[in-house]
Amino acid sequence: MKFVETSGVTPFTRALFQGEPYTVVNPYKGCQYGCSHCSAQIPTKTAYPGYKWGEIVEVRKDILDSVEKNASRWAGKKVYLSSLGDPYQPAEKKYKITRGLLERLSDIDCHVRLITHSDLVLRDLDVLKNMNNVHVGISLTTTNDFHVKLIEGKLPSSDERVETLYALGDSGITTFLNIDPFLPEITPLFRLIDLFNDDVSFFRIASPNWKANIVKKNLFELLKIYEPELFVRYQTIYLKNGKYYDEIRKKMNKNESSRSVEIDITI
């Protein structure tokens, strides 16, 4: 595992959630979890072509100074952590950049959206509790251990993630369930929504980035070897160019969940 400590990079980009612009802050570029379905592998591999995805992480220590210097620009803004790697991947235990960012952002009147898979977020409950406007999302794709191991092998188990979600909620943090990626026939979408309806403030559902060839290739190869019937089904879903997801959208509209659902599906 290689860590590259950098300075002078431009750590802020833009993203839209439900049409709302967010400033994206990336304390790390690259992710030790190395999920096959992650589109962050594309910019990481471009920057570090000699390394496999999941084996190199750029550590952006100077991002803390940058946030501090530009504090006035952040007031009233929406901020998202993060798009290029889990902000609570194991490296955060040592570097504490995500913690430092939250400490600085807690002094600024801004909205923070944070998404992670890791219980390391519980280390920073003291900071999160001090923030006026923070939403913490825990990502879950499936509760089937076989599929977790197959697709997300290095991530905490689904049980561990659920425990983290509950612990955050019990501490008074506003939480959401981030069903990302939503994988046809693998993600028990409506069961998850029923199960967590009383525990989270909202749901977010996102498809894998099918437009990224590497994401499609990785997922299809895994299914072809380990789930051949599903592989055929996925080819059909993909070739039908979004009809499966149209049906899901229709079902979502009829769903009786009392929580709002953000849908971010593209094919």
- Cβ proximity to ligand SF4, 27 vs 85, nearer residue: 85
- Cβ proximity to ligand SF4, 84 vs 110, nearer residue: 84
Binding of residue 34 to ligand SF4 (CB under 6 A) = yes
Total number of residues binding ligand SF4 (CB under 6 A)? 10
* 178, 139 contact by CB (below 8 A): yes
Query: Which of the 8 DSSP states describes residue 242?
Result: T
DSSP 115-176: EES-GGGGGGHHHHHH-SSEEEEEE-S-S-HHHHHHHHTTSPPHHHHHHHHHHHHHTT-EEE
Grouping H, G, I as helix, E, B as strand and the rest as coil, residue 200 is coil
CB 56 → ligand SF4: shortest distance, Å?
12
User: Of residues 38, 102, 121, 223, which one binds ligand SF4 by CB under 6 A?
Assistant: 38
Residue type, 109: D
User: Of residues 33, 88, 182, 210, which one binds ligand SF4 by CB under 6 A?
Assistant: 33
Give the angle subtended at the CA of 35 by the CAs of 33 and 36, to the nearest 5°: 150
Binding of residue 85 to ligand SF4 (CB under 6 A) = yes
Binding of residue 92 to ligand SF4 (CB under 6 A) = no
Binding of residue 58 to ligand SF4 (CB under 6 A) = no
Each residue 153-192 as x (binds ligand SF4 by CB under 6 A) or -, in order, gives --x-------------------------------------
User: Of residues 31, 63, 79, 128, which one binds ligand SF4 by CB under 6 A?
Assistant: 31
Residue type, 26: N
134-139, strands of its sheet edge to edge: 12-17, 20-25, 78-81, 111-116, 134-139, 174-179, 202-206, 260-264
Q: Which residues bind ligand SF4 (CB under 6 A)?
A: 31, 33-35, 38, 40, 85-86, 117, 155
